[in-house]
Structure 1
Amino acid sequence: MQKRQMHLGVFLMGFGHHLASWRQADTPADSPEDIDFYIDIAKTAEQGKFDLLFVSDGLSFNERSHPSELVRFEPLTLLGALSIATKSIGLAATATTTYNEPFHLARKFLSLDHLNKGRTGWNVVTSYYQGEANNFNQNDHMKHDERYVRADEFVEVVKKLWNSWETDALVRDKATGTYFDQKKLHAQHHEGRYFSVAGPLNTSRSKQGEPVIIQAGSSEQGRAFAAKHAEVIFTAQQTIEEALKFANDIQSKAVEHGRDPSKVKILPGVIPIVALTEEEAWEKYNELQDLIVPEVGLELLSEYMGGFDFSQFDLDGPLPTELPEYNGNQSRKQLIIDMAKREQLTVRQLYQKIAGGRGHRLIIGNPEQVADDLQLWFESGACDGFNLLFARYPGGLDDFVELVVPILQERGIFRKQYSGETLRDHLGLDVPSFRTEKQVSNQTFV
């Protein structure tokens, strides 16, 4: 019997996830706007047999933003190009439900799914930057909990639109002149609190039925939303105990929604820094740490703490206990606070630590040490695999594919070849059957 298989994603982010990766001498300064750079990374990830390549997005930036987020391609446009440059790897992108319309996103993602023959995933986010509101004709950003209520209806409408056409609705019979079976085309006529959408969608069901739905929220509302809708969950935990608690909570919530918990794949983010020896790996990490501009590192921390001004405090003292209320990423803010308390970090040590991956877990070591760590988490049941955030591109990914992937393959916990053609095949997810409007709307969101 084959061992349970680990799933691996590559979280693509410009120069790399480390705040100072762009400053290294061998890093091309224009990487985030060079299509050849992205194509090379996608091909390397496909060579490593990764499940998917993931591209995040944001619709605003400020002086505290990560350098890789200041200028970057719109992700669906980028993945359209990568669809032609790759053959097997899944391609997933972030798109917000707060500043989009369901018909637009339903059509864009399903079109992409046709272009790459069933390899698309949608990372559903609700946005949390005030600047995004200001860019979309809004003075104030929608409150955290309401964003999730709106997102729930948004995804419901998208699913209805993805079910506009039954699988065999397009007859295309030249002899009889019948192009489609009218009985198998369904207008949705959705009327809800936030959206009124007539439908149907002018894009048919794809090879994998529907794009894979991904979600990354870890707040209470985020977990409830993920348990109802998500097929893949991106998350961030610093300890295996926290990860196990999160996994158990998600699985129990999924069961409450009548879902098979084994079909909800949990992929925590990790930043692996690997070299032939542990000493060399630490040298790579310390080289990046030495390139952090203190003011920039402090601004990044400030962004995750709700814009809090740390300049009035001793950087070599503890994190202040009184922090302002924040209408942004609640779970990430709490993770950083918990990490500072648990590890007794000063403000300086804290911004230095999150500079590598914004709160995700660092693994630094030789190939066996990195593989051992990933295997421990995976086999403990804390996760189904990992979303890998490389500190720098392309070097970090190259090292992992060359040094760690062969070990995971040799241990029988990661594929040597793709066994299917779609993202659902890679993840072991079922192709959704055609569902009526009533079946799509049957679940409730709490």
Structure 2
Amino acid sequence: MTKLQHFGWFLARGFGPHGWGHPYLDWNYRWTNPDLYQESARALEQAGFDLVIIEDAPSLGSADTIDLRVRHAFGGPKLDPLLLAPYLFAATRHLGIAPTVNPAAYLPYTAARQFATLQHLSGHRLGLNVVTDTGSARHFGTAAQLGHDAAYDRAEEWLAGIRDLWRSWDDGALLEDTATGRYADGTRLRTVRHRGEHFGFDGPLNAVPFTDGEPSIVSPGGSGRGLGFAGANSDVQLALAPLDEASITAYRGRIHDAARAAGRSPDDIKVLFAIQPVIVSSPEEADRLVAASAHPDEAALTLIAQRQSSDLETDLTALDLDKPLDVGIFGDHVSQGSIRRLIGGHDASAPLRQVLAAHARLGRLSDGSGFVGTAAELADRIEELGTWGNDGVLLWGDLHPVTVHRMLDELVPILRRRGILRSEYTGGGLASNLAAF
């Protein structure tokens, strides 16, 4: 049965050089100017999207890999997405904005106050994509880099402390009573004294309570510890998984089990699966693109190696493509999930050329082998996900007007006619829109 689904946009490049390496660079937008992002955000709101999630990586990596990240602007430079958010809020009325934040970069009291400020200024539309990137640790102090699970422990302490500060104004503390001239009741403010393993701070927070919910928490982690964090803390899970019924059902089951283990309802978390579609004008054009991708040339393999090198902070372009990939070349800071995504279903004996070629190959929406197809075929796929109980999808791409319109111009009317995409907002902020269905 067709049902409404939630839609988000994942800005995978982050607040970086949009248009670089693409023909639409000649539209002459400046990526450091907010106009580019504001125009795209207005289009997404017109389309009925719930939120935009903005990726970020504060670090350019190690000295040995910086050139890999900046040479083709795959991994940097990037400006701070938290400071882009106010410009997007100013251009819209309903769209939620979720910049990526790293607990290592923000002391809890400062974070609680800044996030509270944006929540109020935006009409309660702030989201926070909480990541535990440990490779950036050296930029924020001299403490030893934490391991994977320990970084999640710190993130949970950080978020719990921030929430304690947000809630340090008890019910009835804010009076705003013009008859008596009394603004607030200080006896109803809690001091909050936090002394934890990673942070120490005191409250109460110097900010007024929220009227339409706290900022919504987004999490992207797919490890067991990451799913546990999501179950306990998140309102939206950025999900990466094969889009077949068994994989989706299993993934959602793990998230829901984690929510129950934390004493929450599975309905508290919206699981949004990321899709990076290639929309074409006809099934014949889709077939042509898929066929052409089956035998990638050296230039295509080099481009993929460059992109993967940036993400993995490891120069794959210097390796022999005809020899197996030694996973021992990756440092401890490299995400195991990123390594698994690179290798895919290949065994240890597969030559690197074969591994990279698999990333070059495209598949068809119509048969479930990939994401190339017409707008109607993409709508079919999204509708099918809904019949499996899915909450919604995140479309993955640059936040550039050309990209947004290329993906949505035909898709939005089809989704609305099928009753899959909202045509109006409930009001009340991001949390309210997420809870609407």
Normalising by the smaller structure, the TM-score range is 0.7 to 0.9
**What is residue 4 of structure 2 aligned with on the other side?**
5
1:259 maps to: 264
The amino acid that maps onto 1:103 is Y
C-alpha distance 25-379 of structure 1, shift in aligned 2 (>3 A)? same
Identify if the C-alpha distance between structure 1 residues 274 and 87 changes in structure 2 by more than 3 Å, giving closer, same or farther: same
Rounded to whole Å, the distance in 2 between the matches of 1:415 and 1:153 is 36
Q: Kindly tell me: are residues 231 and 71 of structure 1, through their superposed partners in 2, closer, same or farther at Cα, counting changes over 3 Å? A: same
Q: Does 1:379 align with 2:387?
A: yes
Q: Aligned partner of 2:272: which letter? A: L
Q: Which residue of 2 aligns with 1:394?
A: 401
C-alpha distance in structure 2 between counterparts of 1:408 and 1:281, whole Å? 20
Aligned to 1:369: 377
CA distance in 1, matches of 2:248, 2:183: 51
Could you tell me which residue of structure 2 aligns to residue 300 of structure 1?
307
In the alignment, the residues of structure 1 paired with residue 209 and residue 297 of structure 2 have an alpha-carbon distance, to the nearest angstrom, of: 50
In the TM superposition, what is the alpha-carbon distance from 1:127 to its structure 2 partner?
Answer: 1.1
Q: State the superposition RMSD in angstroms.
A: 3.2
Label 1:29 to 1:284 Cα distance change in 2 as closer, same or farther (>3 A): farther
Distance 2:386 2:198 in 1: 40
Query: Equivalents in 1 of 2:132, 2:318: separation in Å?
Result: 30
Secondary structure at 1:67 match in 2: coil
Tell me the residue number matched to 2:63: none
Query: Which of 206, 227, 250 lines up with 1:245 in the alignment?
Result: 250
Opposite residue 108 of structure 1, the aligned amino acid is Q
Q: CA deviation at 1:158?
A: 0.8
Cα distance change, pair 24–194 in 1 and its aligned pair in 2 (3 A): closer
Of 322, 328, 333, the match for 2:334: 328
Alignment of 1:25-424 (within 5 A): 25-27=23-25, 28=27, 31-61=30-60, 62-65=66-69, 67=73, 69-129=75-135, 132-138=136-142, 140-240=144-244, 241-280=246-285, 295-305=302-312, 307=314, 309=316, 311-315=318-322, 319-320=325-326, 324=330, 326-340=332-346, 346-350=354-358, 352=360, 363-381=371-389, 383-390=390-397, 393-424=400-431
Distance 1:155 1:22 in 2: 35
Structure 1 residue 426 and structure 2 residue 433: aligned? yes
Q: How far apart, in 1, do the equivalents of 2:55 and 2:346 lie?
A: 26
> Could you give the per-residue CA deviations for residues 261-302 of structure 1, whole angstroms, max 9, x where no partner exists?
011111121102213313445778979x99967545313323
Query: Structure 2 CA distance, aligned partners of 1:257 and 1:96?
Result: 22
Relative to 1, partners in 2 of residues 1:6 and 1:46: Cα closer, same or farther, differing over 3 Å?
same
Change (3 A) 1:420 1:117: same
SS of the residue 1:59 aligns to: coil
Q: Given that residues 2 and 386 in structure 2 are in contact (C-alpha distance below 8 angstroms), is that contact kept between their aligned partners in structure 1? A: no
Counterparts in 2 of 1:377 and 1:223: CA distance versus 1, 3 Å:
same
Q: Provide the residue aligned with 1:436 in structure 2.
A: none
C-alpha separation between the residues in 1 aligned to 2:265 and 2:189?
A: 29
Which whole-Å deviations, capped at 9, do the CAs of 1:376-418 have from their partners, x for residues lacking one? Answer: 223213x311111126732232133211122111111221111
- The answer (yes or no) to whether the contact 1:16–1:393 under 8 Å persists in 2 is no
Q: What is the percentage of aligned positions where both structures have the same residue?
A: 27
Aligned CA distance change for structure 1 residues 169 and 352 (closer, same or farther; 3 Å): same
Paired residue total: 416
Aligned AA (2:383): Q
Structure 2 residue matching 1:78: 3-state secondary structure: helix
Greater Cα offset, 114-123 or 238-247: 238-247
Once the two structures are TM-superposed, the CA of residue 108 in structure 1 deviates from its matched residue by 1.4
Give the direction of change, closer, same or farther, for the CA distance of 1:375–1:230 in structure 2 (3 Å limit): same
Kindly provide the CA deviation profile for residues 210-229 of structure 1, in whole angstroms up to 9, marking residues without a partner as x.
10011111111111111111
> What is the rounded CA distance, in whole Å, between the counterparts of 1:196 and 1:280 in structure 2?
59
TM-aligned CA distance change 1:109 to 1:321, over 3 Å: closer
Distance 1:117 1:228 in 2: 25
Task: For 1:57, give the aligned amino acid.
Answer: D
Give yes or no for contact 2:7–2:49 (8 Å, CA) kept in 1.
yes
TM-score between the two structures when normalised by the length of structure 1: 0.83
- Structure 1 unaligned spans of 5+: 355-360, 431-446
Question: Against the structure 1 CA distance between its residues 233 and 96, is the aligned structure 2 distance closer, same or farther, given a 3 Å change threshold?
Answer: same
Q: CA, structure 1 residues 161+139, in 2 after alignment: closer, same or farther (shift >3 Å)?
A: closer
Q: Which runs of 4+ in 1 moved over 6 A?
A: 282-287, 289-293
Decide whether the 8 Å contact of 1:90 with 1:423 is kept in 2: yes
* Paired residue type of 2:252: A
Q: 1:377 to 1:64 in 2, by over 3 A?
A: farther
| Contact 1:21–1:392 (8 Å) recurs in 2 | no
Displacement of 1:180 in angstroms is 0.3
Deviation at 1:57, TM superposition (A): 1.4
* Cα distance in 2 for residues equivalent to 1:406 and 1:100: 41
Look up the SS of the partner of 2:338 in the other structure.
helix
Residue 63 of structure 1 aligns to a residue in which SS? helix
Check whether the contact 2:6–2:421 (CA below 8 A) recurs between aligned residues: yes
